[in-house]
Amino acid sequence: MARPKESFLYKNMSYNFEHLIEIPFEDSIDELTHILMSKHGIPRYVEEELLEDLARFVKERTVEYNDQRVMNLINGAKDNKINIEEITKKWEKVLKEEVTEYGEQRCASDNELFATAYHKMVHSPALETMLQLEHMYSQTVRQKAKEKNQLIQEMSERQSKEMNSAVDRLEKDMTESQINGLVARHYEDHALLQGKLNSELDTIKEAQRREYREWLMQMLEQNQTTSSLPTPNSPLTPMPIESIIPSVNFNNGVANVPVLEESFTIHLGSQLKQMHNIRILSANVMDLCSVDDSRQSSEPTPQILQTALALYSNDLSGLVLMADNKIGSRMTKEFQDICDRTTEFHFSHLEDQFNKISNMSLGYLKRDSQSNNRNSHSELLQAGDFYVTRHSNLAQVHVIFHMVSDDSLRGTNINSRHPIILGLRNILKTACSNDITSLTIPLLLQYDMTEEMTVSWCEKRAELVFKCVKGFMIEMASWGGSDLKNLQFMLPQGISNQVFQSLTEMLPRIFKVSNPKILK
Amino acid sequence: MSVSLLKKPQMHFGAITFFAKQHKDDVCGSNGLPLTPNSIIIYGRAQILKTIVNPYLCRYLDIIRGKHERTIAVSQYCGKPLSSFIEKSVFSFTDIKRIAYQVLQGLKELHSRNIVHHNLSSENILYENGNIKLFNYGLYYMTDNGKLVSFPIVQLLYTAPEVYLEEFKEIIANPKVDIWSLGIILAELTLNKLLWSSLILGQRIRKVLSLVQSTTSVFERIAREHNCYDRYQAIPADLKEIIEVCLNIYSEDRPTAAELLEKGIFDEFQVQKTDWLSLLKMYEIFTISELYYWWQLTGGDVLQELKRQGLIRSSPPILSLPHLVLIEGTILGQDRNPATLYDPKIVEMPMETLYERFKNISFSCYYPLIQTKSEIIAQSEPEPYDATGLPLVIKEKDPEYQFHRVILLRRLLHGYPFTRDLIVKEAEKDIPPLFRGDIWSALLNVRGDYERQYAKIDKATPTPTDRQIEVDIPRCHQYNELLSSMEGHKKLKRILKAWVNQNTQYVYWQGLDSLTAPFLYLNFNDEAKAFSCLSKFVPKYLHNFFLKDNSAVIEEYLAKFSQLIAFHDPVLANHLYEINFYPQLFAIPWFLTLFSHVFPLHKILHLWDKVLLGNSSFSLHIGLSVLTQLRDRLLNSGFNECILLFSDLPEVDIEKCVILSAETFQKTPGSITHREYENEEFKKTGELDISGVTLQDLKKERCPRISVSDLLELIRNSPDKAIVVDIRNITQFNRCSVRDSINIPFSSVCFSENKIENVGHHSNVLKDNLDKIVVVVGDEETDLELFPTFLLNCNVKFVCVLHGGFNILLPISPTILASQNHIS
């Protein structure tokens, strides 16, 4: 067994003094000599003698100390007091877990292989073809979805007509029970159709995903031999562009709301200055996720390009969304819809990701509800927890942090110890240790405009978030991960100009804004 | 060609890499601050390894900290692992004895430094041309006996049984485990057999542990188990004895490395005391650490090389994100990244780029001529590599230039203190970063016995200042890896305590920690030198700044600062004066720490390169140049804005700052910044120098004084650089005055308005003055404050007042005076 340090008494007979020395001795014997000499008024000329004597003392005691320790161990083993078998197992385990040589020879997973392939291809001339293909796949899905909606709508119309006429005839030849039967039938038909169409859509997506991945791997192979780029031909890729019915752009009005935004370059640190980019903007947070498909063009939007290039890089971009304690609840419906709009070629479907997280959290919280020190012993998530989903089909982000929040956020008296703020710190830490270098945070900790958002409420909340985030960023420098290069503070869409102004004026007061370079 | 000088077989290096243990959750240290990341602790501990120079040890060259707690150790790497020779019957018993001797020499060196290898195996003993070097011997030490990493530092078969028995709780390193490992290696070599090569992991551990039970010789048992009993018996008795004794189960029975070396078997290898040549330390024109430095400059990048050769595998971060993070910090769904496991692979660094780059450097460049009286010989020297005019940062990155500088300065430093003058001369050009620590201490005149002096100082006994030091250290330049490491904290504390102990006339002021930081950073492995630089630095540049009551010293310094601003930049000075923004409000930390509290380390280094060549007034000029850089913003700001601006000083271009302050320093006569409180040792105290100005007077005067000797210097050597303004009345002026001086009688000027035209027909000379020094000369009857202040208010540059008045010029010989009557 390991033993703590032990003190030995050093006695010097010739000069008649004693000193306690701890073994193992870690300081300089030379210095100890001088300290002892001045303490006991020992003449200079014995310096060498004393030094030698002390050094010998320390050396001998150290050897003795170590040998004693080993002796105890070996004797223990010889007398079978120590369980050799158990020790061997322990060592085996540690070595297998920690050293590559003894660890399981693990092949790269499917995902890793695909990631490497994709990353390689996306940084090659094939990029354009790939994006084109992805875009066409997505057009197909959209088209299909539209058809689905149309069919459903048609059916609804037909049904309501039928219902109307039935109701009209109520007095004549229809009985109430017949109508009830009709309602039930309608409902059934509706559900049936919807289910059928949904599963059709899922099938298409699944097929697309498989085909895309195969195509990519195949392309990689071919690319290594020749440099030509094949394009796949299949019914899943897209129909001619003309056939896409130009849709009326009802979204236009919203898209044209002027986006309020302002950017800053700030530096942190008193001596060594670290630069960061900060932006405040007011927009619909879903604009960061949803790929603008209003234009119906054959070309993918340029934002996608950037996102695709960085997907497997060490510069990921993340977004904090607010959620409630039920994973995948209706609160995130809009987000889920956006994710489902196109095929996810890289990661599991959102629903599957949610399910996995659900199981994981349930498993953990159930198992450890006694042992862990969470406030509530509930099996639900609580405010400040967050779960992470990853995406390849969103416009500007790869990673979504779903922060669990509660109603306390609406209040005015939240402080820096509020769970959401602590959660924010964990998010920054996760970002830092996982190479997420761009992050978007709701400045008011929510994305929707609500009643209580008065000017002073907004200012107070923004100040808190600014200050806390600043503190976390300073802390971050010592976490040894990657730096946060871009930080976006998001304000709800439609916030008043006045509030926006006052918040952009507040930022330079809290963060130190870098000097502009002025050319002279 | 000459490049063959670089291509010595020993001059190669390789790197290993591993991950430090991550701290669990968010825990704080006992001082309430966040814990130092383990990789930084390792970084600090590993530094000392770089100082170990021993023929039987691979030299450590560099420790690099990567992202996410990665550590890379770069060290010399030459030859092949011993393991690759086993079972090939290449070694005779004499060879084996020599190997044993050399390994023991290496271990002795390590053990004497309290370093335990703990990782010894035939894999990391490198063999080349009959000699060996131990490799990777510092891993156990730098990771604080393995505590800072999650993987165990053992070599399955070679590790002594007690290590296994102790499990992972071992907190104290026992050097005797290395002796056991040596025993196993020697057994392998003598039996010419890789031991238990067919066994798998668990069986190997069990095998080692089973040796504990053996009652007979362990070596014999090993031989029998490998069917080598014949060979075992053929081993010479003395060698066999050595192996047997190494393989004793009880460490008590194993001798230490030093004891083993005493044995008769090694006599033939001992350096003979009469063999003078091998006892003398040869001067090497460069060593592997310089080569590594050049290699880096020629584009060598260890991290890239590890990536290229596959030791650093990166899997995309998006695939390994966690799924769920709970508020208390529990992370769920993140698998251990297999790339973070320990892989003991060694990656050799390619040298081709370096050879290619340096192939045209001629042979004589390796042996620069330092002193010669012969013109002819001097001419035969190759043209110096021309880098003049290039910015300093470029020069520091230019491999050829640094090659020449390093070769030259290494030689000069070798000759210190006799070559001090030459070192100063070279330092004026620039200081190569590799030797900055040594050059600085040469500039500061650090004496040869500094180590002994430092050892004598008591740094252990608690003192009342300890608490403050304890508080300051974790806030001192912590962005720097060295200074934020535990080792750095420990060293800084010891140096500060030593300083307090040695300077009882002074007190510990906050800021002393920042002042020490650059010295510690440069001399991290030589605490004594850092201390000794500090002790030389403070009296020269910050004399009496650390007095318990330092107000008079500081006040004088700041008053001088105001005057210097007025001297060079009247517009700015007037503006700051008007808005009451005095240097007291911002400049105290600047001067008290000589900017070491204000700038990051890399900037301080460049700044101090110049400071060390100048005198204690140089920092005033640095202050001026900082203000000059912010001039536009200051001129457009009121009091509040200025305070805000300085509360967190904006980024300052340090190269500009250095150039500018050197310029103004050059231009300013020395007496302008004369201070009464300057260290006597460095002060000019001649009859013609300034003396006896009280602080009270000084604070009243807005323009600085100039000494007679500086005035004489000006008038005699560069009369076109000065305008002497005589403000006595015209009669006195006509009777006797400085040659070529102009007369503006004090009484003739109306001071009510700040208009230069008021001085009469000489106004144009003053108004158009661009770079001449305006020396105001008067006598007791004239007001020597009002007039210069008036000129200052009219934004006239370089105004100063002759100290002592006109009369002091009378006895000067040869005279500079003339009578106007006589001329006209």
In chain B, residues 16-45 whose CB comes closer than 8 Å to chain A: 34, 37, 39-40
ipTM of the complex: 0.84
pLDDT given at position B251 = 87
Same domain (yes/no): A169, A296 = no
Residue A416 above 60 pLDDT? yes
* Residue B439 binned pLDDT confidence (cut-offs 50, 70, 90): very high
Q: Is 80 exceeded by the pLDDT of residue A13?
A: no
Q: Bigger pLDDT: B381 or A489?
A: A489
Any chain A CB within 8 A of the CB of B803?
no
- A66 plus A139 within the same structural domain: no
On whether residue A105 sits in a domain, the answer given is no
Choose the final residue of a domain: A98, A132, A162: A98
| Residues A382 and A271 occupy one common structural domain | yes
In chain B, pLDDT over 90 holds for what percent of residues?
45
- In this structure, the answer to whether residues A447 and A339 fall within a common structural domain is yes
Arithmetic mean of pLDDT, B708-736: 88
Residue B661 tokens, joined: 């302050």
B594-640 pLDDT per residue, tens: 999 989 999 999 999 999 998 888 999 999 999 999 999 899 989 98
Minimal-distance CA residue of chain B relative to A390 = B318
Task: State pLDDT tens for residues A52-62.
Answer: 989 999 988 88
Residue A241 lies in a domain: no
* pLDDT band at A231; cut points 50, 70, 90: low
Q: Which residues of B are less than 8 Å from A357 in CB distance? A: 323-324, 333
> Which chain B residues are within 8 Å of A391, Cβ to Cβ?
none
Sign, Cα dihedral of B58, B62, B63, B65: negative
C-alpha B224/C-alpha A314 separation (Å) is: 56
Confidence of residue A233 (pLDDT cuts 50, 70, 90): low
pLDDT given at position A229: 52
Closest CA to A5 of A61, A81, A85: A61
3-state SS, one letter per residue, for A51-101: HHHHHHHHHHHHHHHHHHHHHHHHHHHHCCCCCHHHHHHHHHHHHHHHECC
pLDDT at B104 over 60: yes
Tokens of B504: 């009882």
CA angle A363, A365, A369 (to 5 degrees): 130
Contact B212 A386 (CB under 8 A): no
**pLDDT value for A245:** 41
Of all residues in chain A, the one with the smallest CA distance to B21 is: A98
Minimal-distance CA residue of chain B relative to A268 = B648
Whether A17 maps to a domain, the answer reads yes
The residue-averaged pLDDT of B379-399 equals 83
Residue A84 is encoded by which pair of tokens?
């050799």
In this predicted structure, the answer to whether residue A240 has a pLDDT above a threshold of 50 is: no
- Domains: count for chain A: 3
pLDDT at B499: 94
The answer to whether residue B733 scores a pLDDT higher than 80 is yes
Domain limit, last residue, from A179, A214, A232? A232
The counts of H helices and E strands in chain A are 13, 10
CB contact under 8 A, A312 and B316: yes
For residues B155-178, average pLDDT: 83
| DSSP per position, B144-184 | TTTTTSSS----TTTS-HHHHHTTT---S--THHHHHHHHH
- Domain range for A44 is 6-98
Tell me which CATH code domain B551-670 carries.
1.10.472.80
C-alpha gyration radius of chain B:
34
Q: What is the pLDDT of residue A147?
A: 87
A242 vs A113, which has greater pLDDT? A113
Across the range B119-143, mean pLDDT stands at 92
SS (H, E, C) B46-84: HHHHHHCCCCCECCEEEEEECCCCEEEEEEECCCEEHHH
Q: Are B119 and B139 within 8 A, CB to CB?
A: yes
CB contact under 8 A, B34 and A478: yes
Question: Measured between CB atoms, which of B65, B202, B458 is closest to A35?
Answer: B458
Beta strands of A230-352 (E only): which ranges? 260-268, 274-282, 316-323
Q: Is residue A245 part of a domain?
A: no
> Considering the domain B2-279, what is its CATH architecture?
Orthogonal Bundle (1.10)
- Do A278 and A313 sit in the same domain of this protein? yes
Please write the tens of the pLDDT for every residue from B493-523. Answer: 999 999 999 998 898 988 899 999 999 999 9
How confident is the model over A219-227, as a mean pLDDT?
A: 71
Tally of CB atoms within 10 A around A287: 17
CB spacing of A271 vs B600 below 8 angstroms:
yes
In a domain, A163, yes or no: yes
Residue type, position B157, single letter: L
Domain finish residue from A232, A252, A276: A232
Question: Which residue from B663, B592, B585 is spatially nearest to B624, judged by alpha carbons?
Answer: B663
For the stretch B629-642, pLDDT in tens is 999 989 998 998 88
Whether A308 and A407 map to the same domain: the answer is yes
Average pLDDT, chain B: 88
Section B11-31 average pLDDT: 81
Alpha helices per DSSP H over A406-483 = 419-433, 455-476
Question: Min CA distance, A313 vs chain B (Å)?
Answer: 6
Amino acid at A300: P
pLDDT band at B53 (very low <50, low <70, confident <90, very high): very high
Residue A423: pLDDT band by 50, 70, 90 thresholds? very high
pLDDT in tens, A125-172: 888 888 888 888 888 888 888 888 888 888 889 888 888 888 887 777
pLDDT-based confidence at residue A253 (cuts at 50, 70, 90): very low
Task: Calculate mean pLDDT across residues A249-257.
Answer: 46
The token pair at B74 is: 């770069």
Q: Which helix (H) or strand (E) holds B103?
A: helix B93-112
Q: Report how far Cα B222 is from the mean position of its chain's Cα atoms.
A: 51
State which residue of chain A sits closest to B35, comparing Cα positions: A478
Query: Could you tell me if A339 and A380 lie in one domain?
Result: yes
pLDDT digits (tens, 9 = 90+) for A336-389: 888 888 888 899 888 889 999 998 888 888 776 555 556 555 677 888 899 999
B449 in A contact zone (CB under 8 Å): no
Q: Name the band, by pLDDT with cuts 50, 70 and 90, for residue A248.
A: very low
Tell me if A23 is assigned to some domain: yes
**Cα–Cα distance measured from residue B499 to residue B513, given in angstroms and rounded to the nearest whole number:** 11
Q: Does residue A251 register a pLDDT over 60?
A: no
Q: Which residue has the tokens 């650093």?
A: B312
Give the span between the Cα atoms of A404 and A417, in whole angstroms. Answer: 16
The CATH number of B703-823 is: 3.40.250.10
Range in A236-240, B681-685, B701-705 with the lowest mean pLDDT: A236-240
Does residue B321 have a pLDDT over 70? yes
Q: What is the pLDDT of residue A249?
A: 42
Is the bond preceding residue A24 a cis peptide, omega within 30 degrees? yes
Cβ distance of B151 and A267 shorter than 8 Å = no
Higher pLDDT, B591 or A409: B591
pLDDT tens track for B233-284: 989 999 999 999 999 988 888 999 999 998 888 888 876 656 666 666 778 8
Residues 299-358 of B with CB under 8 A from A: 314-333, 336, 338, 341-344
What integer pLDDT is reported at residue B26 of this predicted model?
61
- Chain A contact for B462, CB < 8 A? no
A88-111 residue pLDDT tens: 888 888 888 888 888 776 666 788
CB-side neighbour CA atoms (13 Å) of B201: 17
| Distance (Å) from the alpha carbon of B811 to chain A's nearest alpha carbon | 51
Subunit contact B332:A479, Cβ cutoff 8 A: no
Nearest residue in B to A111, CA atom: B319
- Residue B536, pLDDT score: 93
Residue A162 shares a structural domain with residue A219? yes
Q: Which residue has 């310089």 as its token pair?
A: B290
What mean pLDDT do residues B277-303 have? 86
Task: Summarize pLDDT for A35-72 with one digit per residue, the tens.
Answer: 888 888 888 888 888 899 899 999 888 888 888 888 88
**Mean pLDDT across the stretch A392-408?**
90
Cα angle B563-B566-B572, degrees, rounded to a multiple of 5: 135
Report yes or no on A433 lying in a domain: yes
| B408-430 average pLDDT score | 92
Give the pLDDT of residue A252: 43
Pairs of residues, one from chain A and one from chain B, whose beta carbons lie less than 8 Å apart: 242
Who has greater pLDDT, B769 or B247?
B247
Both A377 and A448 in one domain: the answer is yes
How far is residue B419's CA from residue B493's CA, in Å, rounded to a whole number?
33
Residue A255 above 90 pLDDT? Answer: no
Residue B29's pLDDT band (cuts 50, 70, 90): low
Three-state DSSP class for B743? Answer: strand
The average pLDDT across A203-220 equals 87
Inter-chain residue contact A357 with B333, CB threshold 8 Å = yes
Could you give the C-alpha distances from A18 to A8, A11, A12, A31, B645, in angstroms and in order?
10, 4, 6, 16, 59
Which residues in chain A are closer than 8 Å to B163, comparing Cβ atoms? none
Lowest mean pLDDT of A307-321, B322-336, B373-387, B392-406, name the range.
B373-387
In the predicted structure, residue A246 carries a pLDDT above the cut 50: no
In a domain, A252, yes or no: no
pLDDT of residue A250: 42
Give A319's DSSP letter: E
Q: Is B461 exposed, middle or buried (0-12, 13-18, 19+ CB in 10 A)?
A: exposed
CATH 3.40.640.10 fits B450-541, yes or no: no
> In angstroms, what separates the C-alpha of A409 from chain B's closest C-alpha?
16
Q: Kindly list the domain boundaries of chain B, sorted by start residue.
A: 2-279, 450-541, 551-670, 703-823
Task: Inform me whether the pLDDT recorded for B463 exceeds 70.
Answer: yes
Cβ separation B67–A30 shorter than 8 A: no
pLDDT (mean) for B4-11: 85
